[in-house]
Structure 1
Amino acid sequence: MNKHQNLALAFFLIAFSQMTNAQSLTRADSLVKQLHNPADKKIMVTAHRGDWRNAPENSLAAFKNAIKMGVDIIELDLAQTKDGVIVIMHDQTIDRTTNGKGKPGDFTLSEIKSFRLKNGLGRVTDHTIPTLQEVMLLVKGKVLINLDKSYPYYNEAYAILKNTGTLKQAIFKTDERYAEVKKRYPSILDSITFMAVIDLDKPDARQILTNYQQYMHPVAFELNFKTDTSSLLRDNKFINTNGSRIWINSLWASLNAGHDDDTAVDKGNTRDSWDWLIAHGATMIQTDRPKELLLYLKQKGLHR
C-alpha cells in the first residue's frame, strides 16, 4: 500500500469513527446536553405524569405515549412499598388512581402489583403501578425524567439510577433550602442533577435562590407563584448567567397566576399563557397539554 492509499485509509477510519460515535449518541444524550446549556433558548417540554389524558397517570403506557409524542422530560412521583421498593404514585394513598385502598407503604411490591390503575374516567384498566426501575429501563436513552415527591427517597432513587445506567437522565427536586438538602444528602448531592423549587410568593424567595446558586448551581429553578408580581419574574436573567435554567409550570392557575394550559388551549389565548411564560424566562415548561404545546412551539421554531 503506497503513501496515498495509507492517507486515504486513515481519513476513512477517522470518518467512520466519527460516524459511529454520532450514531451511538442517544436522544437522551442530546437532551442532557441541552439541559445543561442555560443559554439555549429552545423550550424543553415536560409531560406532567406522562400522557394521562390517553392512559392512566403515572403508568408505563402514559410514559410510552409521551415518548412517542416527542416530549423532552416526563414528570413522575415516587412512593415506597412496605418492603422498600420505589414505585410511581402521586397521592399518599392509592385510592384515587387504583381499585385498591390504603397507602403504598401498607403493601409489599407483590401486593401492590395486584391492584389495577384507573384511567381518567375512573374506570379500572389492566395497567399496574410501575416501579422506578421499570420506568428507567423503559426511558433509557430516550427521554429525561423529573423525580417529583422524591426528597425522602434520594438515596434509593440514586441506587436505582446507577444500576440502570440512567443517572444523567434524572432530575432530582425539592423545595427544601440548600442547607437542609446538603445536611441530609451530603454524599450524593454533588453527583446528581438537581433542581430547586422556589415559591416566589415567599418574601425570602430571592435569597433562597441566590443561596443555592452560590453553593451549588442547580441545573434549573422551578418557579411557582400564585401572583405574578414578584421581581424575580422581571429580573431573572442572572439565573441563566449563573448557570441555571428556568422551569415554570403551565398546569393549574395556582402555580402560574393564571398563565396556564387551559388559557392557551380552551380559550385559544397563548399570549397570556405560554407566550407569557416564555417572555418571563421559561425555557422548561411542565404541561398537562404536551401534544398541543409541542405543536405550538414547533410552529414558533422554539422546540428542537
Structure 2
Amino acid sequence: MKKILLSAVAGLALICSAAAQTLPVTPHSFVVVAHRGNHLSVPENTVASIEAAISAGVDYAELDLRTTRDGKLVLMHNGTVDKMTNGKGRVDSLTFDEIRRLQVKSNDGKVYQVPTFEEALQACKGKLNIYLDFKDADVAETWRQIQAAGMEKQVVVYLNAKEQYKAWRKIAPGMPLMTSLPEQITTPEGLESFLKNVRISVLDNIADPAMIAVARKYNVAIWQDVQSESEGPAQWQEAIDRGIQGVQTDHPEALVRYLNSNGLRDGVVRK
C-alpha cells in the first residue's frame, strides 16, 4: 500500500492552483487500472505489459517512472534493477545504455528490455490512459515528453512527495493528480479541509462511507487497490459496493470479464 508524503495542508494551500484538472476520458465510468501493466504472462512495466493491458480492455496502465544517472526516463518499480533484470545496481546510478543492455527477467523465454517513458507513451497513445506512479523523475522533462507525445489528456500522476505536488502545479497546473490520504487526516472534517486547499483529482484506498461522501462532494474520485494474493470476485465486489470510481488490479482480464458479465462496468452509483 503506497503512502503519500504530503504534509501540512496549510503549506500546500499556498501553492495550489485553480486550474481545471479533468480526468482522462474512459468508455466506462468505473475504471480498471492494470497494476504495472497486465503482467500475468509478460514482465511488469514493459511495452509488452502495456500491449497486454490494451488487449484486456482496461482503462489505465499503472506505470512506475524513474531516472537513470544520465537523465533518461525509464519504467521501473524498484529503486534498483536487481529484482526485474539480470543486472544489479540502482537505477539512478546506472546510465541508460547500461540499463538498456540488461534483460528483463521473464518466464516465456522471450527477451524484454527496460522501456523508456517515450516508448511507453507511444504504446499507450490513443489506446490506453496512464496512471503514472511518479517515483523519481524531473517534472519538467516528464511533462515535455507527455506533450511531445500528444498525451496531455491521457495521464494521471500519482504523487509520492509534497515537492512533486508543488512542481506539477507550477509546471503543468492542469495535470490531474492522485495521492493517498495523508496519515493525519482520519475524519470527514479533516478530509473536507484538505480538499478545500489541495487540488486533487483522485484519492486511493478510502473505505469509510462518510469519507467517500466527502470526496464525492468535491468531485474527487476514489480508486482502490485490490491486488493481493487472494484477489478475486469477493474483493472486487466489496470495492464496487462502496460506490467508488475504480480499482487497480493484478488480474485485469478476469476483472473486466466479471464486470461485463454482471453489468458493473459503470460501477454502483451512490446518491
Letter in 1 for 2:217: T
Q: Which residue of the partner structure matches residue 216 of structure 2? A: 240
Deviations 1:195-243 (A, max 9, x none): 12126xx34244664344213442211126xxx6xxx344412312211
In the alignment, the residues of structure 2 paired with residue 293 and residue 139 of structure 1 have an alpha-carbon distance, to the nearest angstrom, of 20
Task: Give the percent of matched residue pairs that are identical in Structure 1 and Structure 2.
Answer: 28
Q: Is 1:94 the counterpart of 2:70 in the alignment?
A: no
In the alignment, the residues of structure 2 paired with residue 159 and residue 107 of structure 1 have an alpha-carbon distance, to the nearest angstrom, of 23
Bigger shift: residues 152-161 or 96-105: 152-161
Q: Which residue of the partner structure matches residue 59 of structure 1? A: 46
Describe how 1:1-304 pairs up with structure 2 within 5 A.
Answer: 32-34=24-26, 42-119=29-106, 121=107, 125-150=110-135, 152-176=137-161, 180-198=163-181, 202-206=183-187, 209-223=191-205, 232-252=208-228, 262-264=230-232, 270-271=233-234, 273-303=235-265
Q: Which residue of the partner structure matches residue 267 of structure 1? A: none
Unpaired runs of 5+ residues, structure 1, are 1-30, 253-260, 265-269
Change (3 A) 1:72 1:182: closer
Change (3 A) 1:185 1:70: closer
Change (3 A) 1:68 1:186: closer
In the alignment, the residues of structure 1 paired with residue 57 and residue 161 of structure 2 have an alpha-carbon distance, to the nearest angstrom, of 31
Deviations 1:16-62 (A, max 9, x none): xxxxxxxxxxxxxxx82349xxxx8x321000011211111111011
Letter in 2 for 1:33: V
SS at match of 1:32: coil
Bigger shift: residues 44-53 or 106-115: 106-115
SS at match of 1:78: strand
More helix by share: 1
| Segments ≥4 residues shifted beyond 6 Å | none
In the alignment, the residues of structure 1 paired with residue 120 and residue 231 of structure 2 have an alpha-carbon distance, to the nearest angstrom, of 32
Unpaired runs of 5+ residues, structure 2, are 1-22, 267-271
In the alignment, the residues of structure 2 paired with residue 150 and residue 168 of structure 1 have an alpha-carbon distance, to the nearest angstrom, of 21
Letter in 1 for 2:57: G
Residues matched between the structures, number = 243
In the alignment, the residues of structure 2 paired with residue 293 and residue 55 of structure 1 have an alpha-carbon distance, to the nearest angstrom, of 18
SS at match of 1:190: coil
Letter in 2 for 1:223: N
Query: What displacement does 1:102 show?
Result: 0.6
Change (3 A) 1:181 1:110: closer
SS at match of 2:70: coil
Greater RCO structure (CA 8 Å; 6+ sep):
2
TM-score, normalising length: structure 1? 0.72
In the alignment, the residues of structure 2 paired with residue 171 and residue 137 of structure 1 have an alpha-carbon distance, to the nearest angstrom, of 16
Maintained 8 Å contact 2:85/2:104? yes
Change (3 A) 1:244 1:216: same
Change (3 A) 1:67 1:107: same
In the alignment, the residues of structure 2 paired with residue 280 and residue 247 of structure 1 have an alpha-carbon distance, to the nearest angstrom, of 11
Change (3 A) 1:95 1:64: same
Letter in 2 for 1:157: T
SS at match of 1:213: helix
Change (3 A) 1:182 1:103: closer
